[in-house]
Amino acid sequence: MKQENSNKLNEPTRSELEILQVLWKHGPSTVRFVNDTLNEMKRAVQYTSTLKLMQIMAEKQMLTRDESSMKHIYHAAIEEQKTKGALLEKFVDSMYEGSASSLMLQLLGNKKTSKKELQAIKDILARFDKGSK
């Protein structure tokens, strides 16, 4: 029961996920860099809001902070693939009753999929097919 609560604590909010995505993409960074990147990519965000949220994320053990220099450097403390996998699993469970195929059909039906993307999907399916024999 205790582990379930700790997983809940580390499930990032939308704003926390935006910060994590910057750190996953660019590596350890200052608050200023993260804030500037968010402003370029997403929406106007105040520096003090980014700082406070990153401090909270460090308290929640989503980030670590290197205080050895004048500029504090923050690192993502949770793994990208593990986090995205857990969020995707929760989404599929809640929106598609756990059916990955329903999700895929919805995705392919709602968006123009390029030939290159379709080929990549076919390749993945072929690998799964070979693995089950």
**pLDDT tens digits for 47-56?**
999 999 999 9
Full DSSP string of 30-95: -HHHHHHHHHHHT----HHHHHHHHHHHHHTTSEEEE-SSSS-EEEE-S-HHHHHHHHHHHHHHHH
Residue 36, pLDDT > 50, answer yes
When the pLDDT of each residue in the chain is averaged and rounded to a whole number, the result is: 86
**pLDDT tens digits for 54-73?**
999 999 999 999 988 888 89
**Per the structure, how many domains does the chain have?**
1
> For residue 105, which phi and psi values (nearest 5 degrees)?
-65, -40
The average pLDDT across 118-129 equals 88
Higher pLDDT among residues 1 and 94, named by residue? 94
Whether 93 is in a domain gets the answer: no
Whether 84 is in a domain gets the answer: no
- The domain that contains 19 carries what CATH number? 1.10.10.10
Expressed as residue numbers, the domain containing 16 is 2-76
Whether 115 is in a domain gets the answer: no
Whether 131 is in a domain gets the answer: no
Higher pLDDT among residues 94 and 108, named by residue? 94
